[in-house]
């Protein structure tokens, strides 16, 4: 008979992982539970910390809710621990009854057009990591060109365009560190062009982000009336979906605004599909094909091509997941192969109710379903996975771990010399960042390097905290 608590490891401490841990602690059960949360970076919170633009404090307020979960003390945190190097799958299955992977999607999706790999062409996620002070990316970013294109019609594209167009001094109230401010201050950007393949009614912007764009100082928002095409499917969406209605209204309002001669301009283009990045040894332009709505919510090419003088390009066409060691992976969808959160052996079985599952291994969040939905959608996603874990436990489908003691994982990490950061260590790091910010009249200022983050958390790292 089992005498140890039901042990669960969660790999990835972004919103998906923390929501899964929280829901599991609150689930109806008649057994003792023990949850350990592992994170590759020294700080938790994933894309909320490293994927949201610094001038969106309301969205970053989600961190406060996540902090409340970890502040309770019933979930242990092990940050600065990398799955695949510091820990392997057998290490986890030997020490836990169930293992949940919630590693998210952090890499830019590919855009298969000629010239996309030319120097001067970047993935938006790389730029976001830079301005969000991700500790694993270089601290410099080339902002030497005047005319920049952003390919995509979602919030990431809007964030990238806004940060590129915004005056650096307007970001000094945010948490950006010095190297980001100095980089943006020296930027030579004058024109940012955002290209969407579909029409205004199909844009994936959220209304709030789009409205905020119209209030950016010293930037003219320029839209083009010839891009404003609405078919029957568009009108149906406008009348039936309040978000679509608000987005199209805001975009239409932009058409009524006259440019005021601002030093920077942000151009919004619709119905332009990128077909080629131009240049030989670096980006010199972008070629798009004019699109028309097909009446069913999609578009089709018109055969009319436009050449844009562009010096730099960012693709913001979505994220994709990264394969993890020892786990099955679907490269087309960019997810761990799974059926409703239960990890399965092959892509072919992902839709099969009787799939050959990898016993005791689960997935949640974007690495489970792909990079779709907002942060709040991860709660429902986690609930599905948690429900299956509880079902599998009740059915006796899980193998008991060889080393079920809570001390077993600590001993393993210490034997391997892994300098993990616990929750108290993160709180020290947080206090240091708040102190840096307060010294400059800000709420917070990020520490941008892994070494700097670990130094602040040092008194709570690994064996030092014992």
pLDDT along the chain (466 residues), means of 10: 85 96 94 97 94 82 91 96 98 98 92 96 96 95 96 94 96 95 97 97 91 92 93 93 95 91 96 97 97 91 97 94 94 93 79 76 95 75 94 95 96 96 96 96 95 86 48
pLDDT on residue 350 = 58
Q: How many angstroms separate the CA atoms of 332 and 328, rounded?
A: 13
pLDDT on residue 463 = 44
pLDDT on residue 465 = 44
DSSP strands (E only) in 1-65: 6-11, 33-38
Q: Is 449 exposed, middle or buried (0-12, 13-18, 19+ CB in 10 A)?
A: middle
Alpha carbon distances (Å) from 340 to 353, 358, 389, 432: 9, 13, 11, 41
Cα-Cα-Cα-Cα dihedral sign, residues 333, 336, 341, 346: positive
pLDDT on residue 57 = 73
Q: 193 and 310 in contact (C-beta within 8 Å)? A: yes
Cα-Cα-Cα-Cα dihedral sign, residues 337, 155, 209, 67: positive
Give DSSP secondary structure letters for 348-411: GGTT-TT--EEEEEEE-THHHH-S-S-TTHHHHHHHHHHHHHHHHHHTT-SPPPSS-STHHHHH
What structural domains and CATH numbers belong to the chain?
6-106+321-420 (3.40.50.720), 107-319 (3.50.50.60)
pLDDT on residue 435 = 96
Alpha carbon distances (Å) from 77 to 34, 251, 303: 12, 44, 55
- List the structure tokens of 98: 């169930």
């Amino acid at each position: 008979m089992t005498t140890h608590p039901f042990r669960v490891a969660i790999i990835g401490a972004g919103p998906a992982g923390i929501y899964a841990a929280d829901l599991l602690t609150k689930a109806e059960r008649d057994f003792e539970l023990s949850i350990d949360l592992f994170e590759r970076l020294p700080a938790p919170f994933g894309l909320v910390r490293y994927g949201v633009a610094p001038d969106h404090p309301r969205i970053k307020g989600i961190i406060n809710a996540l902090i409340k979960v970890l502040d309770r003390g019933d979930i242990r945190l092990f940050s600065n621990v990398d799955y695949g190097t510091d820990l392997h799958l057998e290490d986890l299955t030997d020490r836990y009854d169930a293992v949940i992977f919630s590693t998210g999607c952090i890499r830019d999706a590919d855009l298969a057009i000629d010239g996309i790999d030319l120097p001067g062409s970047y993935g938006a996620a790389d730029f976001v990591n830079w301005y969000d002070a991700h500790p694993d990316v270089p601290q410099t970013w080339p902002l030497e060109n005047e005319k920049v294109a952003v390919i995509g019609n979602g919030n990431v594209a809007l964030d990238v365009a806004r940060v590129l167009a915004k005056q650096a001094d307007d970001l000094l109230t945010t948490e950006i560190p010095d190297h980001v401010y100095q980089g943006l201050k020296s930027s030579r950007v004058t024109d940012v062009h955002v290209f969407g393949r579909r029409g205004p009614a199909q844009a994936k912007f959220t209304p709030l982000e789009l409205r905020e764009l119209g209030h950016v100082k010293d930037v003219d928002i320029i839209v083009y009336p010839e891009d404003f095409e609405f078919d029957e499917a568009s009108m149906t969406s406008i009348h039936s979906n309040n978000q679509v209605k608000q987005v199209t209204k805001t975009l239409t309002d932009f058409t009524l605004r006259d440019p005021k001669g601002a030093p920077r301009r942000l151009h919004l283009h619709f119905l332009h599909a990128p077909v080629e990045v131009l240049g030989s040894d670096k980006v010199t332009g972008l070629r798009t094909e004019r699109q028309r709505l097909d009446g069913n919510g999609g578009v089709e090419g018109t055969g009319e091509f436009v050449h844009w003088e562009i010096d730099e390009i960012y693709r913001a066409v979505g994220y994709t997941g990264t394969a993890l060691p020892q786990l099955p992976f679907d490269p087309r969808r960019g997810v761990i192969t799974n059926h409703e959160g239960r990890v399965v052996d092959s892509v072919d079985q992902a839709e099969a109710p009787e799939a050959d599952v990898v016993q005791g291994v689960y997935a949640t969040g974007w690495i489970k379903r792909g990079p779709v939905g907002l942060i709040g959608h991860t709660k429902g996603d986690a609930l599905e996975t948690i429900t299956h874990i509880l079902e599998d436990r009740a059915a006796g489908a899980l193998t008991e771990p060889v080393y079920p003691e809570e001390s077993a994982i600590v001993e393993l990490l210490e034997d391997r010399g892994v300098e993990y950061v616990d929750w108290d260590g993160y709180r020290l790091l947080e206090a240091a960042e708040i102190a840096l910010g307060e010294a400059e009249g800000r709420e917070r200022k990020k520490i941008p390097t892994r070494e700097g983050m670990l130094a602040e958390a040092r008194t709570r790292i690994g064996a030092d905290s014992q």
